[in-house]
Amino acid sequence: MESITSRKSVNEQLDRIKTADILVGIPSYNNSRTIGHVVRAVQAGLAKYFPDRKAVLVDSDGGSTDGTVEIVQNAVIENFQSILLHHRAEPIFKMAVPYHGIAGKGSAFRTIFELAEALNVKACAVVDSDLRSITPEWVELLLKPVLLEGFDYVAPLYHRHKYDGTITNSIIYPLTRALYGKRVRQPIGGDFGFSGRLARHYLSKDVWQTDVARYGIDIWMTTEAIANEFKVAQAFLGAKIHDPKDPGADLSAMLYQVVGSAFQLMESYAPVWKKVRGSSQAPVFGFQYEVGLEHVAVDVGRMLRIFREGIRNLKEIWINVIGAGDFGQIESLGAGSDEAFRFPPGLWTRIVYDYALAYHRRKLSHEHLLKSLTPLYLGKTASFVMEVRDKSQGEAEAEIEKLCMEFEENKDHLSNNWR
């Protein structure tokens, strides 16, 4: 296992490695608490499942000051024989490389794409640096569909707590699925596999001085792959255990970032998504099984208070965006009791599409527009929490499927009003 850090030594090492079959990237910034486990799991996965493949592990770091880079350099598996069936034929090279450009996850990914291109790798994977649930099998599941089955993009498929990932569940997954016609359940999952060919496509795009470089990289990668007809699959990875966030907490910044990125991509790919009707399932690799999930605490009362404050404070904006008729429905929802509060899926679908149209027409500054969506999103999330409170994970997933069908069936509302 060889480690290198400085830019000069990176170039020297690239000259020496010349080419590689596999590259696994880990973007990091002050992740000393978790990154050691992630690096060891990746090393184990490469050693166990790809013993005959030349592999490079890259930590693309954003200037950590908590010892993250040192932990990457020193993270080793003490006893490889405990996980290997036979001796590894090819070395694993390990690199900790500072990324340059706009601070953000996208810039870290760009460095990983550049190294993949420089080494002419066949298959790449990227995994988050704050994972507690990663196992060596993740490496196999993200890379084998690319290496052996000819797929270009492998999105993660996790079991998550029914209250976790609500921006994905209520907006990003239904919207992306309806727009581009591919059922990729976790389009902003954070852990991906992709081909060297797709990495070169990503590098060819002039987005590295935009918000993609800061925080829109996950949805951008997924959308680019689907919209450009690369071969897309999913890999079941079990549970994603990281630091869960209360969906009732202040998520206005995240909503602005993620939904703004999705809406911006709609501008670029309108000729593609306008022609799509319905959706098809992206193939799934990996044995699916039930997993234990960490509970996510939710403050429904706080979400509904913010929703009702929005009715009072954002009335003019909301009428401008969603129209007086749908605002009347919102007012009626706010006038009812907390326990009886239920957000109709058809109303929510129209609201998301109307916000996409308002973004397209620049009715307001994009930041003000998207932040005004937050109280509506919290109202929808509160409704979902109460609807599935006594339901199983499978039953909660069935409710999300119903919402996705609403997005698909009402897509003409978006297409017919897009100018």
Claim to verify: residue 369 and residue 235 sit in the same structural domain: no
Q: Give me the pLDDT at residue 77, please.
A: 64
Is 290 a member of any domain?
no
Task: Identify which of 138, 52, 45, 55 has the alpha carbon closest to the alpha carbon of residue 87.
Answer: 52
Residue 55: pLDDT above 70? yes
The DSSP symbol for 296 reads: -
> Is 44 within the bounds of a domain?
yes
Please tell me the distance from the alpha carbon of residue 204 to that of residue 206, in angstroms, as a whole number. Answer: 7
Mean pLDDT of 109-124: 95
Domain match, 345 and 271 both: no
Residue 49's CB: how many other CB atoms inside 10 A? 18
| CATH number of the domain within which 128 lies | 3.90.550.10
- Residue 141 pLDDT more than 90? yes
Token pair in block for residue 6: 């400085």
Taking residues 131-150, what's their average pLDDT?
Answer: 95
Residue 167 confidence (pLDDT) above 80: yes
On whether both 279 and 309 belong to a single domain, the answer is: no
> In terms of domains, do 43 and 133 share one?
yes
Q: Which of 285, 311, 328 is the C-terminal boundary of a domain?
A: 285
Compute the distance between CA of residue 262 and CA of residue 256 in angstroms, rounded to an integer: 10
Whether the Cβ atoms of residue 155 and residue 199 lie closer than 8 Å to each other = no
| pLDDT value at 370 more than 80 | yes
Tell me the mean pLDDT in the region 140-159: 96
CA pair distance 176, 282, nearest whole angstrom: 13
Closest CA to 330 of 288, 287, 372: 372
pLDDT band of residue 89 (cuts 50, 70, 90) is low
Q: How many structural domains compose the chain?
A: 2
pLDDT at residue 6 greater than cutoff 60: no
379 shares a domain with 275? no
* Mean pLDDT, rounded, for 107-126: 95
pLDDT digits (tens, 9 = 90+) for 228-254: 999 999 999 998 876 555 445 556 788
Residue 2 has phi, psi (to 5 degrees) of: -110, 140
Q: What is the pLDDT of residues 176-216, one digit of tens each?
A: 999 999 999 999 988 999 999 999 999 999 998 888 878 88
Residues 304 and 407 in one domain: yes
Same domain for 141 and 192?
yes
Residue 2, pLDDT > 50, answer: no
Q: What percent of the chain has pLDDT over 70?
A: 91
Q: What angle do CA 276, 278, 283 make, to 5 degrees?
A: 100
Beta-carbon count within 10 A of 375 CB: 24
Verify that 116 and 11 share a domain, yes or no.
yes
State the pLDDT confidence band at 282, using cuts at 50, 70 and 90.
very high
Note the pLDDT of residue 239. Answer: 84
- Residue whose token pair is 């090492």: 13
Q: Where in the sequence is the domain holding 107, given as residue range(s)? A: 2-285
134 and 268 housed in the same domain: yes
Amino acid at 60: S
| Least-confidence region, from 25-34, 235-244, 303-312 | 235-244
In terms of DSSP bridges, do strands 192-195 and 123-126 run parallel, antiparallel, or are they unpaired?
Answer: antiparallel
191 and 318 inside one domain: no
417: in domain: no
- Does position 4 have pLDDT exceeding 50, yes or no? no
pLDDT for 385 equals 95
Q: Can you name the residues that pair with 125 across neighbouring β-strands?
A: 24, 193
pLDDT value at 7 more than 80: no
pTM, 2 dp:
0.92
Instruction: Please indicate, yes or no, whether residues 243 and 314 belong to a single structural domain of this protein.
Output: no
Q: In terms of Cα–Cα distance, which of 369, 189, 152, 356 is closest to 273?
A: 356
Interacting residues of 38 by C-beta distance below 8 A, sequence separation 6+: 26, 127, 128, 129, 131, 134
Which among 254, 285, 316 is the end of a domain?
285
**Better-scored residue on pLDDT, 160 or 222:** 222
Q: Which of residues 98 and 118 earns the better pLDDT score? A: 118
Higher local confidence (pLDDT), 419 or 82:
419
**Together in a domain, 234 and 309:** no
Separation of alpha carbons 47 and 278, rounded Å = 41
Q: Last residue of a domain, which of 285, 314, 337?
A: 285
Whether residue 291 lies inside any domain: the answer is no
In a domain, 63, yes or no: yes
